């Protein structure tokens, strides 16, 4: 299942427009903050799908019965570009367990690249709800690699894959290579074009570099 929040008119699209803007995104702090705010909106939408329980809350004047989330999710992100989104999810799921996955494009001399996986740090995902965040799904290779890494920690009950900007080709690759029924993909926009160097057009550029500076 793919849910595209950008299809509906909301303040969410204001943040996506600023994230895409080549003028506004020059301000690194604002770029990171907009990624964080988008993740907060994703968190709110995902919260509607979680399990709840009734609790009694003592107020100064009595007792209130309220439905609250019965178990916190595991929040996972692909470093380094996913870190601002990770913070956005933590702002809402403040008691969540956390997972960090190191995966990146390792470029070859001929301009091609391989997706390299280095390390995963986090709790068991057995029977858990997992939110896996990365700003972009371009080819989908990084997301598939990250997903395969996290299920080595246990079989999740459900995985919510979250991306700000996705490419149609990358979404198809992700779904074809994960092939699980307990997956929901959330995105803010779906672009049609992927360049020969695997950049999404119009996309937004390199999210990691825009958030934290160029890498060598």
Q: In CATH, what number is assigned to the domain containing residue 205?
A: 3.40.50.2020
Rounded CA-CA distance 202/10 in Å is 21
Give a yes or no: residue 146 inside a domain: yes
155 pLDDT more than 80: yes
CA distances from 105 to 94, 118, 150, 170, 184 (A): 31, 11, 19, 15, 24
pLDDT at 106 exceeding the cut of 70: no
Q: Average of pLDDT values for 89-96? A: 96
Residue 175 covered by a domain: yes
Q: Which of 150, 14, 3 is nearest to 82 (CA)?
A: 150
Quote the number of domains for the chain. 1
Beta strand pairing call for 158-163 and 113-121: unpaired
Q: Specify if 129 maps to a domain.
A: yes
Report how far residue 133's alpha carbon sits from residue 185's, in angstroms, rounded to the nearest whole number. Answer: 10
Q: Which residues contact 66 (CB under 8 A, 6 or more apart)?
A: 54, 55, 57
| Residue 109, pLDDT score | 62
Residue 143 lies in a domain: yes
> Any alpha helices (H) in 121-188, and if so which ranges?
141-150, 168-178
3-class DSSP assignment, residue 88: helix
Confidence class of residue 102 from pLDDT cuts 50, 70 and 90?
Answer: confident
Is 68 exposed, middle or buried (CB count within 10 Å of its CB: 0-12, 13-18, 19+)?
exposed
Contact between residue 153 and residue 180 where contact means Cβ atoms under 8 Å apart: no
Question: Which pLDDT score, from 0 to 100, does residue 107 have?
Answer: 59
| Mean pLDDT (whole number) for 174-190 | 91
Question: Does some domain include residue 59?
Answer: no
Whether the pTM exceeds 0.85: the reply is yes
Residues forming a β-bridge with 12: none
Q: What is residue 191's DSSP assignment?
A: E
Whether residue 66 is contained in a domain is answered as no
Q: What is the mean pLDDT of the chain?
A: 90
Considering the domain boundaries, does residue 36 fall inside one?
Answer: yes
Task: Tell me the C-alpha distance between 161 and 184, whole Å.
Answer: 6
Between 106 and 195, name the one with better pLDDT: 195
Structural domain including 181 reads 2-50+72-212
- Helix/strand/coil for 205: coil
| Domain presence at residue 58 | no
Q: Taking the CB of residue 205, how many other CB atoms lie within 10 A of it?
A: 17
Collect contacts of 149-153 with beta carbons under 8 A, ≥24 apart. Answer: 149/101, 149/103, 149/117, 149/120, 150/76, 150/99, 150/101, 150/120, 150/122, 150/125, 151/125, 152/120, 153/99, 153/120, 153/122, 153/123, 153/124, 153/125, 153/126
Residue 110: pLDDT band (50, 70, 90) is: low
- pLDDT digit string, tens, across residues 4-52: 999 999 999 999 999 999 999 999 999 999 999 999 999 999 999 999 9
């Amino acid at each position: 299942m793919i849910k595209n929040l950008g299809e509906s008119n909301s303040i969410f699209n204001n943040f996506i427009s600023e994230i895409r803007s080549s003028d506004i995104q020059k301000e690194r702090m604002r770029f990171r903050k907009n990624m964080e705010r988008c993740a907060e909106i994703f968190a709110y939408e995902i919260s509607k799908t979680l399990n709840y329980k009734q609790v009694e809350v003592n107020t100064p004047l009595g007792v209130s019965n309220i439905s609250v989330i019965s178990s916190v999710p595991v929040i996972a992100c692909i470093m380094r570009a996913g870190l601002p989104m990770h913070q956005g999810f933590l702002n809402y799921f403040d008691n969540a367990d956390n997972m960090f996955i190191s995966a990146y494009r390792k470029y070859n001399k001929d301009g091609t690249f391989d997706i390299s996986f280095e390390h995963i740090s986090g709790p068991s995902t057995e029977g858990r709800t997992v939110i896996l965040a990365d700003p972009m799904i371009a080819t989908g290779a990084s997301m598939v690699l990250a997903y395969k890494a996290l299920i080595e920690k246990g079989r999740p009950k459900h995985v919510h894959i979250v991306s700000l900007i996705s490419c149609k080709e990358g979404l198809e690759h992700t779904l074809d290579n994960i092939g699980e029924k307990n997956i929901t993909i959330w995105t803010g926009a779906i672009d049609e074009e992927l360049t020969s160097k695997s950049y999404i057009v119009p996309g937004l550029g390199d999210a990691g570099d825009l958030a934290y500076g160029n890498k060598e």
